[in-house]
Amino acid sequence: RKDAGILAMDIYFPPTCVKQEALEVHDGASKGKYTIGLGQDCMAFCTEVEDVISMSLTAVSSLLKKYQIDPKMIGRLEVGSETVIDKSKSIKTWLMQIFEEHGNTDIEGVDSSNACYGGTAALFNCVNWVESSSWDGRYGLVVCTDSAVYAEGPARPTGGAAAIAMLIGPNAPIAFESKYRASHMAHVYDFYKPKLASEYPVVDGKLSQTCYLTAVDKCYRRFCEKFEKFEGKQFSVADADYCVFHSPYNKLVQKSFARVYYNDFLRNCSTVDQNAIEKLKPFANLEAEESYQNRDLEKTSQQVAKALYDAKVGPSTLLPKEVGNMYTASLYAALASVIHNKHATLDGQRIMMFSYGSGMTATVFSLKANKGQHPFSLSNIASVLNVQKKLEARHEVSPEKFVETLKLNEHRYGANDFVTSNDTSMLSPGTYYLTNVDDLYRRFYKKV
């Protein structure tokens, strides 16, 4: 099958958000710690009427409607999420309601979960299905949905929430370069959710940063080797028009791109300029372990890679900075930001993607864009995503209200027999919301 990949996309994030600047003041953090230190502007969060199920229902029904897809034409549906609600009952089964209504229950796939990586696993499954002999000619549908919330403390400003739906099929405007793919997977306790009565993870922040950067190095190196084996020429970051990273917070993305450039320097790539070579020379013989802790290397590599960062990474950072870490949806919200910003000039360009899930699982893979044909064209995807409008329509909430909401959600997590406020005043038409949970823990949703 030619050019299997992403045919269409839509994104939903809650309209409620808190400004990082206000959160700094509220938390007593030093001025600039969240905005400059972490590089974040704003953070979306679910109120008690929204959750990962309602967001995914909203994203899927919106995608089907806006691209006029007959629900009978979906043959595989996969969900990536790390937000646990019914444990054994997948979020995918919730989404089946939309398809049952149209008489389609012949849909393969369940949920994939490993921290922020589940969406990528789901996407690979769908693309592989389209490229396989078991493909029945219908579309695949991938949904990434997560609500990222942390206990009070340094990790709290790195939350966020969103759901993304992606339609998968052949002749896609965002096609997979399936040959070029490299992973790094290992056992670590950097971030995990062993407390089943709480939505909050146990997180070793410093370790998670090093794990992430180690995974960038390992995946990128292997990706370059594979590319070279297939193409008979060296790969460097100059061969990627855009680099899109999973984004827990923007500062880590800045450091990751600098790391990629440092790798190109260590690999003697001809595309690394003379000035950068001079500045990076003192760090040429650092042991890998040492290099993650070296502040001078961090600063110098970020500085020499700055212009390339602005051109190749900058366009992907809008939604992750405005919405926060969306876990499984984060990488694809960054991709959506590239489409939003660059759809007019993306034809023929290569996008290098880095997916990371704690625990840990990571892959670098490659996408190639082409204009596509309506409704599956880059310009139509950009207009359906409607990123600017969705951002502008949000309601800024005070940090006090944000903290109060999280407290209520803590209380409600895993609880039964309650009715929500049913307050839909912030939600736009077509948005699903939670009405109540009965004594058997069954959840009920309605649509605005």
Kindly state the smallest distance separating residue 403's Cβ from ligand ACO, in Å: 16
287 is an active site residue:
no
Give the DSSP letter of residue 114: B
Q: Binding residues for ligand ACO, how many (CB under 6 A)?
A: 21
- How far, in Å, CA of 108 to CA of 131, rounded? 15
33 vs 390 by CB, closer to ligand ACO: 33
Residues ≥6 apart with Cβ < 8 Å to 42 = 17, 18, 19, 20, 321, 322, 323, 324, 396
3-state secondary structure of 8: strand
Which member of 28, 30, 88, 274 binds ligand ACO (CB under 6 A)?
30
Residue number, nearest CB to ligand ACO? 37
Question: Per-residue x/- mask for ligand ACO, residues 330 to 369, rule CB under 6 A?
Answer: ----------------------------x-----------
Among positions 86-145, residues that touch ligand ACO (CB under 6 A) are: 116
Question: Per-residue x/- mask for ligand ACO, residues 189 to 208, rule CB under 6 A?
Answer: --x-----------x-x--x
Contact flag: residue 252 with ligand ACO (CB under 6 A): yes
37 vs 399 by CB, closer to ligand ACO: 37
Instruction: Residue 17: name the closest of 394, 317, 410, 329 by CA.
Output: 394
Mark the segment that binds ligand ACO (CB under 6 A) among 11-19, 33-41, 170-178, 236-244: 33-41
Question: For every residue of 360-379, which 3-state class applies, written as one string?
Answer: CEEEEEEEEECCEECCEEHH
Catalytic site residue from 42, 46, 116, 144? 116
Catalytic site residue from 24, 50, 82, 298? 82
Contact flag: residue 32 with ligand ACO (CB under 6 A): yes
Sign (positive or negative) of CA dihedral 406, 408, 413, 418: negative
Mark the segment that binds ligand ACO (CB under 6 A) among 153-161, 229-237, 338-346, 413-421: 153-161
Instruction: Residue 153: name the closest of 290, 295, 33 by CA.
Output: 33
Question: Given phi > 0 = left and psi -120 to 50 = alpha, else beta, which region is 334?
Answer: alpha
* Residue whose token pair is 């938390």: 27
400 is an active site residue:
no
208 vs 380 by CB, closer to ligand ACO: 208
Catalytic site residue from 50, 78, 211, 246? 246
Q: Are 366 and 181 in contact (CB under 8 A)?
A: yes
Which member of 248, 315, 324, 372 binds ligand ACO (CB under 6 A)?
248
Q: Are 24 and 34 in contact (CB under 8 A)?
A: yes
Which member of 4, 38, 149, 346 binds ligand ACO (CB under 6 A)?
38
Instruction: Residue 247: name the closest of 375, 172, 146 by CA.
Output: 146
Peptide bond into 360 cis (omega under 30): yes
116 is an active site residue:
yes
Helix locations, 142-238, DSSP H: 205-231
Which residues carry out catalysis?
82, 116, 246
Footprint of ligand ACO (CB under 6 A): 30-33, 36-38, 116, 154-155, 158, 191, 203, 205, 208-209, 212, 248, 251-252, 358
